[in-house]
């Protein structure tokens, strides 16, 4: 059993943050909210999302599992105007999702969850550095790096206590430092890792510019990117594996 | 089996010049493929590694009967390579390197992959060494890649491929790139795999060959040979719903056909597109072995499913056939009177996926069948052609008494040992608007995928000759008042004389004979018995199979199987072809 009413903004934010990594996903319809975990086909980037029941106008579920085509569902959610509510209801008989936006009714065929790539185990990482910054600064870092390179290094300078971004292109380089003043919070620790911008650019798209973003970093370790949405009732954690740093 | 092992063996095969050694390598590869690794839930319905290896080694991911493709273009592959190659390499760089190196495998092998680590390397309890690709994993990822469709599928394909390349060593990358772009080319042909299966699992080659013909899947045959032995191989049958390769024809002549066979089976050659019809009134299994409601599927020569494009064929099958059958034939475009239209018209219909009903209004098609591979539970591949044709007639006919001429959708078959008779069948075929004739060995089996000597399409005339008619004979019986058997001559420019090159008697209808007699009679110069000498006046365009030297005719040459094509009203005897041209055409 699953029946929920949710604002278009909340649903769209949730879907967008998953669809930057995968086209199809499994959605766990838990009693206390939705949960989605997915990893990209190359097993490099992962998303772990939860959307609490409190983020919905109304929410009833008893622990089912459905598989959805994300771009379809995003298209439907895109039909709603700002501030409109979307009603979702699972038809257990037909295994279809009934979606209602005012007078618009859409019946979405679901995907067999077994045919969707297995959900990842979430690595339990002990990452020594923690950087808390605004979404717009993440965007600025990624955009700057993307001008010169397809890779980005993220690190923390322990002595002078700042977070930095490096990108080396064939000819041009970018270096950005964010000190305590620019950051919301910083816990220093040994941290320097190189990441593919292909992934980070996509993840950046889903990060609201005005939100607080927490980065967990280590030496040659994955980065964990955490942010909330829907007034904190939705949580997204991305995890991105590093590239080996050459030379 | 690890993909690295496969890549090692593939490299060894590629480096090996001797065919027998290549077979030995492939044999080892099949033997070492091993059993499928067990899964957690016990029962393993996954594909066996030996099947994958038997396909990969030929550069295939899917069975030969399966028209599924990876549907990934070179540029997407370059992009995936670029992403795996590391910092600031883009698809253009890969393409540039390809232009230098010349081969995608070498390009892929030239990069140092693996820069991007996977999350699993950091997952709790998993070692970093867990990252080695297996043959099975490569297969499963490629199947996923092929299945990606719709919006964003191109990106998804690149992602999957990037994930694979990222885990490749240089040799692995070489063969992965080639596999993905269907450029394996390590010198392993179909015969190699057949012989290797036979050697690896100790079964006779010809039984492997038979199993390959009916199943059209090297992978399945390798697995069955290994797991079920000869008994299993021999039990393999045609599956109605799963296409087999079409038997093909080579070019040939009437002369050769009649020299090699006591008589030739002659059929009209239709100017259409080859189809294989699969029908089962109880519903076909899909090619993958799943039950379905569909009763009819139609495949192209390349085993592409063209059912949707050809509703007439489906309607024909449903209206005509009673039991399960696999029929081989052509689909021909026809005009309102049912007369054939040129091949281009068929193409307007053949692979169409949209607006079929509309296209059908413009051009309609009809099927004509000339062979029967399976009927009512019997596989007929090994039956002689004549027996198969009898079954075909039985399958298509309304009742046992029906005249073959009236059987809808049946291509007629004549047994002939006389060149003239064959010529008249050819003439009739051409007259009816078809391409000519096929000559087949009446005793031959159906050999899927083989372009053998048993089927020959009559070589089209290389060039026609314009000859002066210099003589004729009065006919006999019904044709006593007509001139026939026309003597043909060409000009010797050096002497200005006309020299004979042969006589033409075939390719002419009664109506035409009357017309020709009327034209030629005024030019009769002398008569002796039935023989008539003619003043040079009329020019014939004639076809022939070849020109040979001959003491019989004054030119020193003779046209073999000359065939009347037309009167060249536009030509005077002085414009007819020369002896020099005859000599040139012969050489």
Q: For residue B163, give the chain A residue with the closest CA.
A: A42
The whole-model pTM stands at 0.77
Mutate to test the interface with B, among A43, A151, A202 (most CBs of B within 10 A): A43
Q: Are B513 and B484 in contact (CB under 8 A)?
A: yes
* Cross-chain CB nearest to A123 (options B114, B122, B162): B122
Banded model confidence at residue B3, pLDDT cuts 50, 70, 90: very high
Among A2, A3, A17, A1, smallest CA distance to A230 is for A17
Q: For residue B89, give the chain A residue with the closest CA.
A: A150
Residue B402 pLDDT > 80, yes or no?
no
Pick A129-240's CATH classification: 3.40.718.10, 3.40.50.1390, 3.70.10.10, 3.40.190.170: 3.70.10.10
Q: Which two tokens stand for residue B270?
A: 């239709």
B165 is annotated as contributing to ligand binding: no
| Domain region containing B287 | 248-458
Cα–Cα distances in Å, from B125 out to A240, B128, B137, B237, B315? 18, 10, 21, 48, 60
Q: What is the pLDDT of residue B287?
A: 56
Residue B1 pLDDT > 70, yes or no?
yes
B46 is annotated as contributing to ligand binding: no
Q: Are A174 and A166 in contact (CB under 8 A)?
A: yes
Question: Mean pLDDT for chain B?
Answer: 88
Are B63 and B115 in the same domain? yes
Q: For residue A72, give the chain B residue with the closest CA.
A: B151
Percent of chain B with pLDDT over 90: 56
Cα–Cα distances in Å, from B355 out to B111, B306, B359, B360, B362? 47, 14, 6, 9, 11
d(CA B401, CA B283): 29
- Mean per-residue pLDDT, B184-205: 93
Q: Are B428 and B408 in contact (CB under 8 A)?
A: no
**Contact yes or no for B119 and A170 at CB 8 A:** no
The number of angstroms, rounded, from the C-alpha of A154 to the middle of its chain's C-alpha atoms is 18
For residue A39, which phi and psi values (nearest 5 degrees)? -130, 145
Are B122 and B29 in the same domain? yes
Catalytic residue among B157, B269, B440, B503: B269
Asked if B156 reaches chain A (Cβ–Cβ under 8 Å), the answer is yes
Asked if B232 reaches chain A (Cβ–Cβ under 8 Å), the answer is no
Are B136 and B112 in the same domain? yes
Residue B39 pLDDT > 50, yes or no?
no
Q: How many CB atoms lie within 10 A of CB B578?
A: 16
Ranges of residues in chain A with a pLDDT under 50 are: 247
| B6 burial type by CB count under 10 A (0-12 exposed, 13-18 middle, 19+ buried) | buried
Residue-by-residue DSSP string for chain A: -EEEEEEHHHHHHHHHHHHTT-SEEEEEEETTEEEEEEE-TTS-EEEEEEEEGGGSSEEEE-SEEEEEEHHHHHHHHTTSPTT-EEEEEEETTTTEEEEEETTEEEEEEPB-GGGS-PPPPPP-----EEEEEEHHHHHHHHHHHHHH-SEEEEEEETTTTEEEEEEE-SS-EEEEEEETTTSSEEE--SEEEEEEHHHHHHHHHHS-TTSEEEEEE-BT--EEEEEEETTTTEEEEEEEPPBPPP-
Residue B349 pLDDT > 90, yes or no?
no
Residue B128 pLDDT > 50, yes or no?
no
| B319 burial type by CB count under 10 A (0-12 exposed, 13-18 middle, 19+ buried) | exposed
B568 is annotated as contributing to ligand binding: no
* Residue owning tokens 């059929």: B267
Can you say whether the dihedral through the CA atoms of B561, B565, B567, B568 is positive or negative?
Answer: negative
Q: What is the pLDDT of residue B459?
A: 63
Are B453 and B474 in the same domain? no
Are B105 and B83 in the same domain? yes
Cα–Cα distances in Å, from B230 out to A158, A174, B250, B525? 71, 67, 33, 76
Q: Which of A213-217, B355-359, B515-519 has the highest mean pLDDT?
A: A213-217
Residue B587 pLDDT > 60, yes or no?
yes
Does residue B410 form part of some domain?
yes
Angle between helices B190-201 and B218-235 (to 10 degrees): 50
Residue-by-residue DSSP string for B133-169: -BHHHHHHHHHHHHH--STTHHHHHHHHHHHHHTT--
Does residue B368 form part of some domain?
yes
- Mean per-residue pLDDT, B300-325: 92
Residue B196 pLDDT > 60, yes or no?
yes
Does residue B211 form part of some domain?
no
Q: What is the pLDDT of residue B357?
A: 87
**Contact yes or no for A123 and B162 at CB 8 A:** no
Q: Are A236 and A17 in contact (CB under 8 A)?
A: yes
509-568 of B, contacting A, C-beta below 8 A = none
Percent of chain B with pLDDT over 70: 95
Q: For residue A126, give the chain B residue with the closest CA.
A: B122
Does residue B195 form part of some domain?
no
d(CA A241, CA B12): 35
Catalytic site residue B269? yes
Banded model confidence at residue B358, pLDDT cuts 50, 70, 90: confident
* Cross-chain CB nearest to B116 (options A170, A221, A243): A243
Residue B127 pLDDT > 70, yes or no?
no
Mutate to test the interface with A, among B87, B90, B115, B176 (most CBs of A within 10 A): B87
Sequence-distant (≥ 6) Cβ neighbours of residue B418 within 8 angstroms? none
**Residues of chain A in Cβ contact (below 8 Å) with chain B:** 23, 39-46, 71, 117, 120-125, 149-151, 168-170, 196, 198, 221-222, 239, 241-244, 246
Cα–Cα distances in Å, from B276 out to B32, B199, B307, B434? 37, 33, 10, 20
Q: How many CB atoms lie within 10 A of CB A111?
A: 17
* Cross-chain CB nearest to A43 (options B88, B119, B124): B119
Cα–Cα distances in Å, from A216 out to A40, A213, A224, B71? 20, 10, 5, 39
131-150 of B, contacting A, C-beta below 8 A = 141, 144, 148, 150
Q: What is the pLDDT of residues B544-570, one digit of tens each?
A: 888 888 888 999 999 988 888 888 888
Residue B36 pLDDT > 60, yes or no?
no
Give chain A's radius of gyration (CA, Å): 19
B528 is annotated as contributing to ligand binding: no
d(CA B161, CA B78): 10
Q: What residues of chain B lie within 8 A of the CB of A71, using their CB?
A: 150-152
d(CA A192, CA A242): 10
B512 is annotated as contributing to ligand binding: no
Residue B437 pLDDT > 50, yes or no?
yes
Asked if B88 reaches chain A (Cβ–Cβ under 8 Å), the answer is yes
* Cross-chain CB nearest to A241 (options B86, B119, B148): B119
Strands (E), B407-523: 413-416, 436-440, 451-458, 465-474, 483-491, 498-504
Are B307 and B454 in the same domain? yes
**Contact yes or no for A241 and B118 at CB 8 A:** yes
Q: What residues of chain B lie within 8 A of the CB of A120, using their CB?
A: 119, 123
Greater confidence, B293 or B410?
B410
Q: Which of these ranges, A55-69, B157-171, B505-519, has the smallest mean pLDDT?
A: B505-519
Q: What residues of chain A lie within 8 A of the CB of B160, using their CB?
A: 41-42
Q: Are A160 and A79 in contact (CB under 8 A)?
A: no
Q: Which two tokens stand for residue A97?
A: 């999702």
Are B435 and B551 in the same domain? no
Are B374 and B431 in the same domain? yes
Q: Which of B403, B424, B458 is the last residue of a domain?
A: B458
Residue B356 pLDDT > 90, yes or no?
no
Q: What residues of chain A lie within 8 A of the CB of B115, using their CB?
A: 243-244, 246
- Cross-strand partners of B68: none
How many structural domains is chain B composed of? 3
**Contact yes or no for B116 and A46 at CB 8 A:** no
Among A3, A27, A5, A28, smallest CA distance to A89 is for A3
Banded model confidence at residue B129, pLDDT cuts 50, 70, 90: very low
Q: By three-state DSSP, how is residue B17 classified?
A: coil
**Contact yes or no for A44 and B144 at CB 8 A:** no
Banded model confidence at residue B42, pLDDT cuts 50, 70, 90: very low
Are B491 and B469 in the same domain? yes
Residue B38 pLDDT > 50, yes or no?
no
Banded model confidence at residue B433, pLDDT cuts 50, 70, 90: confident
Residue B84 pLDDT > 50, yes or no?
yes
Asked if B151 reaches chain A (Cβ–Cβ under 8 Å), the answer is yes
Q: Is B477 left (phi over 0), alpha (psi -120 to 50) or beta?
A: left
Are B483 and B334 in the same domain? no
CA distance A215 to chain B (A): 17
**Contact yes or no for B88 and A41 at CB 8 A:** no
**Contact yes or no for B86 and A246 at CB 8 A:** yes
Does residue B192 form part of some domain?
no
Asked if B121 reaches chain A (Cβ–Cβ under 8 Å), the answer is yes
Structure ipTM: 0.85
Asked if B87 reaches chain A (Cβ–Cβ under 8 Å), the answer is yes
Residue B126 pLDDT > 60, yes or no?
no
* Cross-chain CB nearest to B162 (options A39, A42, A239): A42
**Contact yes or no for B116 and A221 at CB 8 A:** no
Does residue B449 form part of some domain?
yes
Q: In chain A, what are the domain boundaries?
A: 2-115, 129-240
Banded model confidence at residue B86, pLDDT cuts 50, 70, 90: confident
Are B303 and B168 in the same domain? no
CATH of the domain at B22: 1.10.3260.10
Are B526 and B511 in the same domain? yes
CA distance A144 to chain B (A): 15
Burial A161-179 (b: 16+ CB within 10 A, else e): ebbbbbbbeeeeebebebe
Say yes or no: domain A2-115 is CATH 2.60.120.10.
no
């Amino acid at each position: 059993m699953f029946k929920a009413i949710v604002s278009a903004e909340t649903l769209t934010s949730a879907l967008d943050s998953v669809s930057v990594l995968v086209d199809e996903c499994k959605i766990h319809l838990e009693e206390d909210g939705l949960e989605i975990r997915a990893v990209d086909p190359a097993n490099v980037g992962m998303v772990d999302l939860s959307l609490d029941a409190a983020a919905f106008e109304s929410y009833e579920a008893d622990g089912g599992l459905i598989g959805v085509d994300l771009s379809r569902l995003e298209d439907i959610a895109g039909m709603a105007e700002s501030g409109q509510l979307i009603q979702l209801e699972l038809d257990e008989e037909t295994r279809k999702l009934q979606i209602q936006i005012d007078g618009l009714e859409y019946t979405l065929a679901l995907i067999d969850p077994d045919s969707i790539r297995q959900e990842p185990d979430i690595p339990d990482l002990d990452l020594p550095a923690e950087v808390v910054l605004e979404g717009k600064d993440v965007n600025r870092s990624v955009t700057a790096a993307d001008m010169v390179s397809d890779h980005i290094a993220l690190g923390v300078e322990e002595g002078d206590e700042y977070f930095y971004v490096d990108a080396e292109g064939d000819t041009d380089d970018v270096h950005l430092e964010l000190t305590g003043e620019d950051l919301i919070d910083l816990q220093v620790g040994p941290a320097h890792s190189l990441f593919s911008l292909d992934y980070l650019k996509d993840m950046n798209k889903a990060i609201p510019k005005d939100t607080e973003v927490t980065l967990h970093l280590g030496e040659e370790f994955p980065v964990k990117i955490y942010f909330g949405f829907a007034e904190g009732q939705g949580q997204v954690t991305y995890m991105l594996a590093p590239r080996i740093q050459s030379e | 089996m690890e993909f690295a092992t496969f890549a090692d063996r593939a490299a060894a095969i590629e480096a090996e010049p001797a065919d027998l050694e290549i077979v030995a390598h492939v044999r080892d590869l099949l033997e070492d493929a091993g059993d499928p690794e067990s899964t957690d839930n016990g029962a393993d319905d996954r594909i066996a590694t030996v099947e994958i290896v038997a396909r990969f080694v030929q550069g295939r991911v899917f069975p030969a009967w399966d028209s599924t493709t990876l549907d990934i273009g070179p540029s997407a592959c370059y992009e995936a390579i670029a992403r795996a190659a590391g910092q600031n390499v883009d698809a253009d760089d890969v393409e540039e390197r390809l232009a230098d190196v010349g081969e995608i495998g070498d390009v892929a092998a030239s990069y140092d992959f693996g820069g991007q680590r996977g999350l699993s390397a950091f997952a709790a309890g998993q070692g970093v060494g867990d990252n080695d690709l297996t043959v099975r994993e490569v297969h499963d990822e490629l199947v996923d890649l092929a299945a990606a469709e719709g919006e964003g599928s191109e990106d998804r394909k690149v992602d999957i491929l990037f994930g694979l390349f990222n885990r490749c060593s240089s040799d692995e990358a070489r063969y992965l790139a080639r596999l993905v772009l269907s450029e394996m080319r390590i010198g392993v042909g179909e015969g190699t795999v057949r012989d290797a299966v036979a050697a690896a699992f100790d079964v006779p080659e010809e039984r492997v060959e038979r199993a390959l013909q009916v199943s059209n899947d090297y992978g399945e045959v390798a697995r069955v040979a290994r797991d079920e032995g000869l008994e299993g191989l021999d039990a393999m049958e045609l599956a109605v719903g799963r296409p087999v390769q079409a038997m093909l024809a080579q070019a040939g002549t009437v002369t050769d056909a009649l020299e090699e066979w006591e008589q030739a089976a002659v059929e009209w050659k239709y100017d259409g597109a080859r189809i294989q019809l699969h029908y089962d009134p109880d519903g076909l299994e899909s090619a993958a072995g799943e039950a379905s409601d569909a009763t009819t599927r139609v495949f192209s020569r390349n085993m592409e499913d063209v059912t949707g494009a050809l509703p007439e064929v489906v309607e024909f099958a449903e209206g005509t056939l009673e039991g399960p059958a696999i029929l081989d034939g052509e689909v021909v475009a026809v005009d309102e009177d049912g007369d054939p239209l040129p091949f281009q018209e068929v193409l307007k219909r053949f692979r169409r996926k949209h607006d079929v009903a509309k296209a059908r209004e413009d051009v309609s098609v009809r099927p004509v069948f000339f062979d029967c591979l399976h009927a009512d539970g019997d596989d007929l591949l090994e039956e002689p052609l004549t027996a198969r044709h009898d079954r075909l007639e039985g399958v298509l006919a309304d009742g046992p008494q029906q005249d073959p001429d009236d059987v809808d959708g049946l291509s007629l078959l004549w047994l002939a040992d006389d060149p003239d008779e064959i010529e008249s069948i050819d003439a009739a075929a051409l007259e009816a608007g078809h391409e000519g004739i096929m000559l087949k060995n009446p005793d031959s089996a159906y050999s899927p995928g083989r372009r053998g000597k048993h089927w020959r399409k009559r070589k089209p005339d290389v060039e026609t000759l314009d000859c002066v008619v210099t003589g004729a004979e009065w006919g006999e019986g019904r044709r006593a008042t007509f001139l026939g058997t026309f003597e043909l001559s060409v000009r010797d420019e050096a002497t200005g004389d006309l020299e004979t090159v042969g006589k033409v008697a075939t390719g002419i209808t009664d109506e035409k004979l009357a017309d020709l007699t009327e034209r030629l009679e005024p030019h009769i110069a002398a008569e002796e018995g039935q023989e008539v000498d003619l003043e040079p006046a009329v020019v014939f365009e004639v076809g022939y199979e070849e020109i040979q030297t001959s003491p019989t005719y004054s030119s020193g040459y003779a046209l073999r199987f000359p065939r009347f094509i037309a009167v060249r009203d536009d030509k005077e005897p002085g414009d007819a072809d020369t002896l020099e041209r005859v000599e040139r055409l012969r050489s």
